Structure 1
């Protein structure tokens, strides 16, 4: 559906030259939810704007839905853009228009007849869960409702691709989850290809099939979300994965254990897929003769399966502790010793 080959974007000023996107190769499959994650300044916003030619690349090729976007201009570019919609962090709604009028706006521009417009608008209002709010104005809506309007408006012309530019960054965690659930539902119902950029690994973990990590304009790592969670290779990727597997509040809660010399080894265990739902700890205690003190734990769901992390203290003779670590390895549980006094 989307193919980027040796894509670069260079901004030149009187004082300097900035390479915002640097030789990026990327492909997104039809019907996939693909995430691009990076900190501010990584180049992800520039990259996503190049997909619909809001920014022209300095070099390289952009193909979306079998169209070479970088070769299009004028009417042909406008027609191609109708297949690529976008939603934004700050909603970009027309404040003088009601919900239904905002959703109808792209249909008006496309010259769709009024009767057909009204039918499509009501269909979209039902899809995004805004029934009963058709006549409300943006100032009367919550942040989540505003983003639902933005999503409905983006879907008005039946696009093949939906681009999401930090679409949940302005929302609280509960509302973020509801919007991510909506995007997942839309992806399933419509087979829509979704590309989203974010700096939050929670967003990637919850809805994406694959992810690319950007740093200084380059893609430093990419792959299926579950694989990236299991074996992040680059330091940048490891930092993002820790947002989910080792959140700050978790590390604070076990900090006393890590510094207590009277405690046994502190082990971080990582479970993947079906293994995250198996009674491994029960078997560990039964077969290895160790006591297990569970300090903190969490099982997170990705699109492709579960990913669990568990922080434990092991107590027992050294021979049994070694046996326990071997048992975990044999059962495909990754174990990292955080403290071993």
Structure 2
């Protein structure tokens, strides 16, 4: 559906040139939800704007639904953009227009007849859950409702691709989750390819199938979300994953544990998928002659299954503790011994 081949975007500035996107190659499959994550200045906004022709690549190919967005213009570019919807961080609604009129706006530009236009708007209002708010103005809406209008408007022309530019950054956590649930529902119902950029790993964890991590204009890591959560390779990816998987002040907690427990072992357990649902602690207590203390942990649900990190302290004979660790690993749970104090 979307293929970027050796794409570079260079901006000219008074101080010289700035390479916002640096030789990026990427393939996004039809019908998937693909996330691009990076801190401010990583180049992700420039990258997503090249997907709908708002920015032109300095070099390389940007193929979206069979069209090279880097080399088309005029009527062909306008037609291509009708197949690529986009929602924004700050909604970009027309404040003098009602919900219905905002959603209808791209249909008016496309020359869709009024009767057909009204029917399509009604369908979209129902799809995004705005029944009863059709005649309200943006100033009368909550942040979540404004973004629902933005989503409906982006879907007006039946696009093949939906681009989300920090679409939940201006929303509170509860509203963010409701918007993300809506995007998943739209993806399933319409088979729409969704590309979203964000600096929040929670967004990636909740709805994305795959993720690319950007740093200094480059893709430094890419893969299935569950794989990236389980074994992040790059330092920046590890920092993002820690946002949602590790309790705060983990290092300080481990250091404290080593002082608190002069005997035994502190173990970090990593659960993935079905392993996160198993009564592992109960089985350890029943099967082995060790004391077990659950220190802290967190289980997160990704779009592809559960992922969890748990810190425990066990104490017993060396032989019995070795048996416990072997047993844990047999259950498809990763076990890393943080210390082994004699």
TM-score tier (shorter): over 0.9
Tell me how far 1:259 sits from its aligned partner. 4.3
Tell me how far 1:258 sits from its aligned partner. 5.0
Distance 1:255 1:171 in 2: 36
TM-score with structure 2 setting the length: 0.95
Distance 1:17 1:265 in 2: 53
Tell me how far 1:307 sits from its aligned partner. 1.0
Tell me how far 1:298 sits from its aligned partner. 2.5
Aligned-residue CA RMSD in angstroms? 1.7
- Residue pairs, 1:241-280, within 5 angstroms: 241-248=241-248, 256-257=256-257, 259-262=259-262, 264-280=264-280
Moved more, 65-74 or 261-270: 261-270
Cα distance, 1:5–1:207 mapped onto 2, change above 3 Å: same
Is residue 314 from structure 1 mapped to residue 314 from structure 2 by the alignment? yes
Please give the secondary structure, in 1, of the residue aligned with 2:15. Answer: coil
Please give the secondary structure, in 2, of the residue aligned with 1:306. Answer: strand
TM-score with structure 1 setting the length: 0.96
Moved more, 329-338 or 90-99: 329-338
Cα distance, 1:101–1:251 mapped onto 2, change above 3 Å: farther
Moved more, 169-178 or 276-285: 276-285
Is residue 111 from structure 1 mapped to residue 108 from structure 2 by the alignment? no
Moved more, 21-30 or 322-331: 322-331
Distance 1:108 1:216 in 2: 40
Distance 1:254 1:153 in 2: 49
Distance 2:2 2:255 in 1: 45
Moved more, 285-294 or 137-146: 285-294
Tell me how far 1:288 sits from its aligned partner. 3.2
Please give the secondary structure, in 2, of the residue aligned with 1:71. Answer: coil
Number of residues of Structure 1 aligned to a counterpart in Structure 2: 341
Distance 2:183 2:255 in 1: 37
Gaps of 5+ in 1: none
The answer for the alignment partner of 2:12 in structure 1 is 12
- Residue pairs, 1:51-70, within 5 angstroms: 51-70=51-70
Tell me how far 1:265 sits from its aligned partner. 2.6
Moved more, 248-257 or 43-52: 248-257
Tell me how far 1:248 sits from its aligned partner. 2.2
Q: How far does the alpha carbon of each residue in 1:157-183 deviate from its partner, in whole angstroms, 9 at most, with x for none?
A: 000000000000111111000000000
CA contact (8 A) 2:247 2:297 kept: no
The answer for the alignment partner of 1:324 in structure 2 is 324
Distance 1:262 1:173 in 2: 40
The answer for the alignment partner of 2:101 in structure 1 is 101
